[in-house]
């Protein structure tokens, strides 16, 4: 059953029915709040609804990347692989929607296009692309962080005679690329996951790489039933530890420094990290990898050596070996046969840093030195991350100020949850929260629980509005920047820094202090009568 949201007044409007929106709805319902959820897609799943490109898969392990709030849910659901594929995660999202009967409050095929705060009545007026207009006391932005796909700024894209695809908007019926000359632009996670499978299908694949990325083998495999049984037996304890961990996944804490380590021992450690097949296997071996350039270089060189071992053509191997950013400062990737793909006869790597892309034309793509004839072009070019989905709605707050105007020089939030001048508006895993630096499921649960506890407490105390104080927000923005600047992250032109979108302010968007520290701060704020917020 799906909803048709009628006009009128709601306690809360939730934007988006991905994992953040679904859990928000469930918690609001438990509070007895009358809630309406709008979702642009025709079903639940958010990121996992849209990103259907070949090879799309989570790179946090399935038994971590799943809700922990319901012991029954986590016991009954059976993941089949260590790293779940997009279809399996989407099946899980659908199972959750059915199990908790969520669809009756979700209106699909409906994009929220505007939200204006009515100061007189203290409500948000929310409008959609289908002409709905509803008002709500609370507005919860669960619109995702990697949900505004970005095309490259290349002249002539519209003139291309073949088919074009963005990895984040992949046709639901799938795409048959067999027999075609395919070009892929982009070598982030989406490119690195899809390129090996596209290469198997295409007659010829040309990969246009601007920045080589660090990637390590995922070592994906079917889940071992003994491991699953043991994890399920201790799931509650494991989840407790994950909630109190730095990244929302339980990994050993280390104080040792790579720069102080014995070289043989360091090599040994990196080899063991490499064979873990996890995103953090290498960076977590030493405490200084993301802080000290010398320590980072040890990891970077280790990965470059592995690439050179796999790729048979030394020129291609050199081009694939990242040297322009420290390890981990762009999201590292987990792959299945990515570097091996460049040993295939039907795959060509084009370094577009060396020979920049000039234009797309009807027949293909032109760089400064050559023309590549193509039948299909795949954009694995990423997203306007974190702020893009919020600016697409561009809420209008107190005094008619838009979020875009307020965040002109970079996002300003208190705890990554709310922003002054926009009362009763909450963001989930937005800027200033640990968000994309963590297992998103753990961050989503923490945010949703904090927000719903807050609005429940407000109702119980007869409080109608909550809004951050400007000095508390200033303090948080400074703190987020300060800890970000203690790391090597700002050294890369990454989407974490907003660097992939022309004109976007160069600001480190997520909070790198760690989920456990962040959770403690949020709990303290709530326990201290929502310190830093004005409640009226």
DSSP string, 474-536: HHHHHHHHHHHHTSSGGGS--GGGTTTSTT------S-TT-HHHHHHHHHHHHHTTSTTEEE-
For residues 506 and 481, the answer to whether their CB atoms sit within 8 Å is: no
Task: Pick from 199, 380, 428, 466 the residue near ligand NA7 by CB under 6 A.
Answer: 380
- At 410, list the tokens: 């970079």
Closest CB to ligand NA7 among 423 and 514? 514
For residues 274 and 282, the answer to whether their CB atoms sit within 8 Å is: yes
- Going by C-beta distance under 8 Å and a sequence separation of 6 or more, which residues neighbour residue 461? none
Which region among 21-29, 107-115, 374-382, 464-472 touches ligand NA7 (by CB under 6 A)?
A: 374-382
Task: Pick from 63, 146, 282, 365 the residue near ligand NA7 by CB under 6 A.
Answer: 146
Tell me if 188 contacts ligand NA7 by CB under 6 A.
Answer: yes
Closest CB to ligand NA7 among 135 and 147? 147
Pairing of strands 163-166, 357-361: unpaired
Which region among 120-128, 186-194, 218-226, 297-305 touches ligand NA7 (by CB under 6 A)?
A: 186-194
Task: Pick from 152, 162, 337, 456 the residue near ligand NA7 by CB under 6 A.
Answer: 152
- Rounded to a whole number of angstroms, the minimum distance from the CB of residue 213 to ligand NA7 is 6
Task: Pick from 210, 266, 285, 304 the residue near ligand NA7 by CB under 6 A.
Answer: 210
Task: Pick from 68, 86, 216, 381 the residue near ligand NA7 by CB under 6 A.
Answer: 381
For residues 458 and 466, the answer to whether their CB atoms sit within 8 Å is: yes
Tell me if 372 contacts ligand NA7 by CB under 6 A.
Answer: no
Tell me if 186 contacts ligand NA7 by CB under 6 A.
Answer: yes
# binding residues, ligand NA7 (CB under 6 A):
25
Task: Pick from 86, 128, 189, 336 the residue near ligand NA7 by CB under 6 A.
Answer: 189
Say how far apart CA 519 and CA 245 lie, in whole Å.
Answer: 10
Tell me if 38 contacts ligand NA7 by CB under 6 A.
Answer: no
Paired residues of 535 in beta bridges: 466
- Rounded to a whole number of angstroms, the minimum distance from the CB of residue 32 to ligand NA7 is 36
Tell me if 89 contacts ligand NA7 by CB under 6 A.
Answer: no
Q: Which helix (H) or strand (E) holds 458?
A: helix 440-461
Closest CB to ligand NA7 among 296 and 329? 329
Q: Residue 484: which of 495, 496, 493, 473 has the closest Cα? A: 496
How far apart are the two ends of the chain, measured CA to CA in Å? 38
For residues 533 and 418, the answer to whether their CB atoms sit within 8 Å is: yes
- One character per residue 323-362, x = contact with ligand NA7 (rule: CB under 6 A): --------x--------------------x----x-----
Closest CB to ligand NA7 among 107 and 438? 438
> What are the start-end ranges of the E strands in 357-438?
357-361, 364-367, 371-373, 376-379, 425-427
- Residues of this chain that interact with ligand NA7 (CB under 6 A) are 146, 152-154, 167, 185-191, 208, 210-211, 331, 352, 357, 380-383, 436, 495, 500
């Amino acid at each position: 059953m799906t909803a048709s949201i009628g006009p009128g007044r709601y306690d809360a409007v939730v934007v988006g029915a991905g994992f953040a929106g679904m859990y928000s709805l469930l918690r609001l319902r438990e509070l007895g709040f009358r809630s309406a959820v709008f979702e642009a897609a025709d079903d639940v799943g958010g990121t996992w609804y849209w990103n259907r490109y070949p090879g799309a898969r989570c790179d946090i392990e399935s038994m971590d990347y799943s809700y922990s709030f319901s012991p029954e849910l986590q016991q009954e659901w059976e993941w089949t692989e260590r790293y779940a594929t997009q279809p399996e995660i989407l099946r899980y999202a659908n199972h959750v929607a059915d199990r908790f009967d969520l669809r009756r409050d979700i209106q699909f095929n409906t994009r929220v296009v505007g939200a204006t705060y009515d100061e007189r009545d203290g409500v948000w007026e929310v409008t959609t692309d289908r002409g709905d207009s509803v008002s709500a006391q609370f507005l919860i932005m669960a619109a995702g962080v990697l949900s505004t796909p970005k095309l490259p700024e290349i002249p002539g894209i519209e003139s291309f005679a073949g088919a074009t695809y963005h990895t984040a908007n992949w046709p639901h019926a799938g795409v048959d690329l067999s027999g075609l000359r395919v070009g892929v632009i982009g070598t982030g996670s989406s490119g690195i996951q899809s390129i090996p499978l596209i290469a198997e299908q295409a007659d010829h694949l040309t990969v246009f790489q601007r920045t080589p990325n660090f990637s390590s083998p995922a070592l994906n495999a079917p889940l071992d039933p003994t491991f699953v049984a043991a994890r399920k037996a201790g799931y509650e304890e494991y989840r407790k530890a994950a909630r109190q961990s730095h990244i929302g996944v339980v990994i050993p804490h280390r104080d040792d420094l790579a720069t102080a380590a014995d070289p043989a021992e360091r090599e040994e450690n990196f080899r063991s990290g490499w064979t873990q097949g996890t995103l953090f296997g290498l960076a977590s071996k030493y405490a200084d990898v993301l802080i000290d350039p010398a320590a980072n270089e040890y990891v970077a060189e280790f990965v470059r050596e592995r690439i050179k071992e796999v790729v048979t053509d030394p020129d291609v191997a050199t081009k694939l070996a990242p040297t322009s950013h420290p390890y981990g400062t762009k999201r590292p990737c987990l792959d299945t046969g990515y570097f091996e793909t460049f040993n295939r006869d039907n795959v060509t790597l084009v370094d577009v840093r060396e020979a920049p892309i000039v234009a797309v034309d009807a027949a293909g793509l032109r760089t400064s030195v050559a023309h590549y004839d193509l039948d299909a072009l795949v954009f694995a070019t990423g997203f306007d991350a974190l702020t893009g989905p919020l600016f697409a709605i561009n809420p209008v707050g107190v005094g008619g100020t838009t979020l875009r105007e307020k965040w002109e020089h970079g996002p300003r939030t208190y705890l990554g949850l709310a922003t002054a001048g926009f009362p009763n508006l909450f963001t989930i895993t937005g800027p200033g929260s640990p968000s994309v630096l963590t297992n998103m499921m753990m961050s989503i649960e923490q945010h949703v629980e904090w927000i719903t506890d807050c609005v429940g407490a407000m109702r119980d105390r007869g409080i109608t509005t909550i809004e951050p104080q400007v000095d508390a927000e200033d303090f948080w923005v400074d703190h987020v920047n300060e800890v970000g600047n203690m790391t090597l992250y700002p050294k890369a032109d990454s989407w974490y820094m907003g660097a992939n979108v022309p004109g976007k302010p160069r600001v480190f968007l997520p909070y790198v202090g760690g989920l456990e520290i962040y959770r403690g701060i949020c709990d303290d704020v709530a326990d201290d009568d929502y310190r830093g917020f004005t409640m009226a």
